[in-house]
Each structure stands twice: as C-alpha cells, then as structure tokens.
Amino acid sequence: MPITISGGDRAGEFQILLDRQSALDIGAFVVDGVDISPGAAIPSDGDRRIDHALQGFFFTCGPDHIRHPEPIDGFDDGRRFPLHGSLCGTPVRRTEMSGRDEPPGCLAETEVPLVNGGAALVSRRWAISRDESEVLLSDRVTNAGAKPFAPMLMYHMNIGGWMLGDDTHIAGTMFGNGRWPWRFGDGESAHFCLPAAPTARDGWAQVTLGPFAALSGRSLIVRFETATLPFLQMWRCQRGSADVISIEPVSHRIAKRTDLAAAGELPMLAQGETVDYALAFQIR
C-alpha cells in the first residue's frame, strides 16, 4: 500500500502517493481529483524499473549514475552503470510518519547496493509546508560502503502532456525575463540542460510550467537548492502513444562520465561522508 500525504489551501487540495517499493518516490500527484502524472503514456527504454517509475509523478536517478548506461572504471568484465542509476526500484528499509505536532510528512531510509560493489544510504524526508501549500523534499546520501563513489542525482517530475495547451509555457530564474514554449526543440522528442546556479536567488532556483487548463489555469512551480543541484534539465516526448514532459533538477551537466571526471566534476564521496539535496513544488 502507498503512503498518502495530503495538503491544500485556497489554491486547492492535493495528495501525494508515496511508493514504498521504489525509494519512496511519488507514484501520483493528485490535485483537486486530477492526477497530473503521465501514467502509461510514456516511452519504454526496456528497463522495467524505469518504465514503472516514469508512469508516476516523481522518481529519483542516482545516487551513482543519472543517465544512460556507461562503463564502470576498474572493471574489465563489461560491467556498466544501469539506466538512471542504482536507486530506482529499491524498496525502502524503514518509514516513519511525522508526529502529531508536526506538519504532515514521512521519513524513510533506503539502503542501495551500488554496481561498483559499494553501498549508499538515502535518508529521505517528505513534508508539507506549515501553510499546507507546498511539498518539501530533503535527501541525504551517505556512503555506507567501503568503496568511495561519485554521487550523482537527478529528480524527474513527470507530467502528462495532455494537460498542456497552446498557452502553456516554461519560465524560471534560469530563463531570465523570457519564457519558452513547452513544446521546445524539434520533432517528437527533445531535451535541454541549463545552468541554474548563476541566476539562483538565495541559493535556490525556480522553474514554472503552466498554466494547465485542467487545473483552472494554475501552474506547477518547482524550487531546488543549487549547491548540489546546479542544473535544470527538461525532457519531453510526444511519440506514438507517449505524451509526457519532465522537469529535472540535476547535479551534473549532460556529458560522458569520462569527460566529467577529466574536468574535475565527479568528486568522490568517501566512506561515511554525506551530501544533501533539497527541492520543493506546489500548484499555484
């Protein structure tokens, strides 16, 4: 059974359904009875973990890899990082709901076996803001194994493309005073990755996707802390039966691991060391 956390204010009521079988990611984000997740309208990469995760509103790539498979240094047996890393599809070890005097929320711990033989512990906290308008996420990744690894993280927030119309645009701190059409790029599928840290305000970047006619003209607003999520990636796919767009705060630019390492952009996390990530989202 999923864990349900509810909130709402004058902008509307919402629920998030947390998936215990997949690192406590969000299976559904329901606003005034409308689930904005894409469901089955997603393309398949042939990985059942990712096919399941993409159908939901929110899933997490990492903590050791965030994009398509690449070779693992130090192994001559052809071993590769899995699509989008090792975390997706990993059941949580422990969950705990917030106390009566705290805002609604849930704590979780997930032990992640890494493909290089190491291990990580993801300590996650979901919470609703005190005014009940915003969903807040705090993640801490700890190297729980004997081997160092390079932490990488990307959060996918997936929205059904049928929610978007001609008036829907993308705006945010990284776009300056401009805004982009939601159907960016050419063809049936496209993506981009922009630096978010240089234009962040007080260390937080913000991006808005909307308005959504199905939500009475409201928009999805995402904020994320750029100290460890310095880039905004976005992806869309309107191919065949697929109809999805994704907002993706991410730790690294789009480049091969070898290129990132050569540029000093893959610092290692030693045994017992930690790194923190944070974001928030709301419908307004």
| Cross-strand pairs, 210 | 169
Split at pLDDT 50, 70, 90, the class of 98 is confident
Give Cβ neighbours of residue 43 (< 8 Å, ≥ 6 apart): 189, 237, 239, 240, 242, 244
Judge whether 252 and 151 are in contact, CB under 8 Å: no
Average pLDDT over residues 109-138: 95
pLDDT score of 7: 87
Q: Would you state the structure tokens that stand for residue 141, as one six-digit string?
A: 């990744």
The pTM of the full predicted model, rounded to 2 decimals, is: 0.95
Average pLDDT over residues 134-163: 97
For the chain, the 3-state helix, strand and coil shares in percent, each to the nearest 5, are 10, 45, 45
Q: Is the pLDDT of residue 101 over 80?
A: no
Angstrom distance (rounded) from CA 279 to CA 237: 24
Average pLDDT over residues 109-114: 97
The pLDDT tens digits for 203-247 are 999 999 999 988 999 999 999 999 999 999 999 999 999 999 999
Q: Would you state the structure tokens that stand for residue 103, as one six-digit string?
A: 């805002």
Structural domains in the chain?
A: 3-283 (2.70.98.10)
Q: Would you state the structure tokens that stand for residue 35, as one six-digit string?
A: 């689930």
Split at pLDDT 50, 70, 90, the class of 1 is low
